[in-house]
Structure 1
């Protein structure tokens, strides 16, 4: 029986609350069009959110921004997570005027294990969200969940900031460099399907390619080109796993010169051809 994506929303159903084993995402990279909050109830799995990897086990929280690529590997049979998924529009309304640094922090650390008092608060929040989800006659249903989502995002940001302050008393990079790096990450997330050259992102940031490379090396411990290429690989893998597009069609969509060029690029980074990767993931 085909697995169903539990995080799907519709124009009529702007948010969905429930509990799932998330088998749909098992060894299957998929883009989350809206966003979601996951709270692990039992079992464990290794999660990939864009370029971030971490273990999810009981009381682990995962926050997925709209457009994130999400996948679970080594998922145990007893893995279960409560969730609230929401449309891109609902998230945009809830996140309106929030400090951009929140989204920077979330991209860096979408998987976390909050302290016990936060675990209790998250459980209560999900119970309230589930109550609102079931209350279909409530004409203010979407407004209520939007306000609750905003409250949760603000609470999460506050706790993430406190944790970061305790863990990193002395910043390794300047505020200016950190801001440029976060803007670079956002640009790569938005444009990597079409743009793979460092110069494109340097121009967008109005800095030299050399300075951008220095910043990325300092923060991410890799070159800017390597960072871009990893994002492109995520896009290719997602298309290979989540669509029936041919390798030639994927090459066209990602603006590779031809299928052979994409094949060489993929094999260089993955150690196997796109077709081999697709077959191995079936």
Structure 2
């Protein structure tokens, strides 16, 4: 496989834009049969209603059955049996569906099972919680298929589902379980490697976090979590660090003017570049150049 297939949200499936859906797994099975390893650009909360088999999400594998919820963050890789016999309902949504109502851009950070560093993507429900969540999924499905669906009601239902899943418990995956032979090679380090490669290629002209998140098919919040946990800085700080490293090289080893360096690094003005450089190095670009030449070092 040269690349992992990527599934995007079908925003106009029901006509007007709708960023939430409840999909029967049976409708997904033809695609799963063709490409049992795939990833998505949206959040998934797959509620298993019957069956039992191994499923992998990123580097976690478990044998799942009724009462399990499989949680997936944008960009994570799924690996399922090509001829899956599972029965399930999949609640899928894009972050913007919630952000249109909740002004808190970190709203989803309140749910531990939707975080990059969660202990497992697999949740287990008790019978009472399972029955309640299943009924909620079915109610959402009916609302979605109404001729005059109400997105405010759907948003409230999604919020209720997210809150109910806070009551579920994580289960340990069984990476070494006999029979659980699904292996997913993509992990956090590969995201970081891809991110660093993208920065090396585009840092001069692309300073924003969203560009790199879009290229990796993950959200900016998720990318920032990965970068901070792996590199110890925010995504924005890492990008800025690479830009400033090049600025220092140009100041030290070339005779380019500050204006020319600012233009090469795609800053809007030399004044803005100077302010950013000063905040980063605690000296102006010209002072940095003079000090570097005087000391012969950086």
The two structures have a TM-score, normalised by structure 1, of 0.51
Partner of 2:144: 133
Aligned to 1:73: 81
SS in 1 for 2:196: coil
Q: Deviations over 1:177-205 (max 9, x none)?
A: xxxxxxxx98x586442338x99933527
For residues 52 and 83 of structure 1, do their structure 2 counterparts lie closer, same or farther at Cα, with a shift above 3 Å needed? Answer: same
1:110 to 121, 131, 153: 121
Q: 1:62 aligns with which of 59, 66, 70?
A: 70
Separation in 2 of the partners of 1:199 and 1:9? Answer: 29
What's 2:196 paired with?
A: 195
The counterpart of 1:85, out of the listed 71, 88, 92, is 92
Q: What SS does the corresponding residue of 1:132 show, helix, strand or coil?
A: helix
1:149 aligns with 2:150: no
Shift of 1:28: 2.4
Q: Secondary structure of 1:204's match? A: coil
Q: State the 4+ residue runs in structure 1 displaced beyond 4 angstroms.
A: 91-96, 98-101
- Structure 2 runs not aligned, ≥5 long: 1-5, 173-186, 198-225, 235-298
For residues 146 and 106 of structure 1, the distance between their equivalents in structure 2, rounded to whole angstroms, comes to 26
Q: Give runs of aligned pairs for residues 202-281 of structure 1, distance below 5 A.
A: 202-204=231-233
Secondary structure class of the residue paired with 2:80:
strand
In the alignment, is the contact (CA less than 8 A) between 2:67 and 2:124 conserved in 1?
yes
Give distance in 2, aligned partners of 1:128 and 1:106: 31
Where does residue 25 of structure 2 map in the other structure?
Answer: 20
Greater Rg over alpha carbons, structure? 2
What SS does the corresponding residue of 1:135 show, helix, strand or coil? coil
**Partner Cα separation in structure 2 for residue 199 and residue 68 of structure 1:** 15
Give CA deviations for 1:68-120 in whole Å, capped at 9, x if unaligned: 221213754x3221122222422555784354562338832221221101111
* C-alpha separation in 2, matches of 1:9 and 1:118: 29
Aligned residue-pair number: 176
How far apart are the structure 2 equivalents of 1:190 and 1:59?
A: 31
Q: Give, in whole Å, the separation in 1 of the partners of 2:101 and 2:161.
A: 10
User: Which ranges of structure 1 fall in alignment gaps of 5 or more residues?
Assistant: 168-184, 206-282
Normalising by structure 2, report the TM-score.
0.49
Distance 1:31 1:18 in 2: 16
The 1-side partners of 2:145 and 2:51 are apart by 27
Partner residue, 1:35: 43
The verdict on how the C-alpha distance between 1:94 and 1:125 changes in structure 2, with shifts beyond 3 A counting, is farther
| CA displacement at 1:46 relative to structure 2 | 1.4
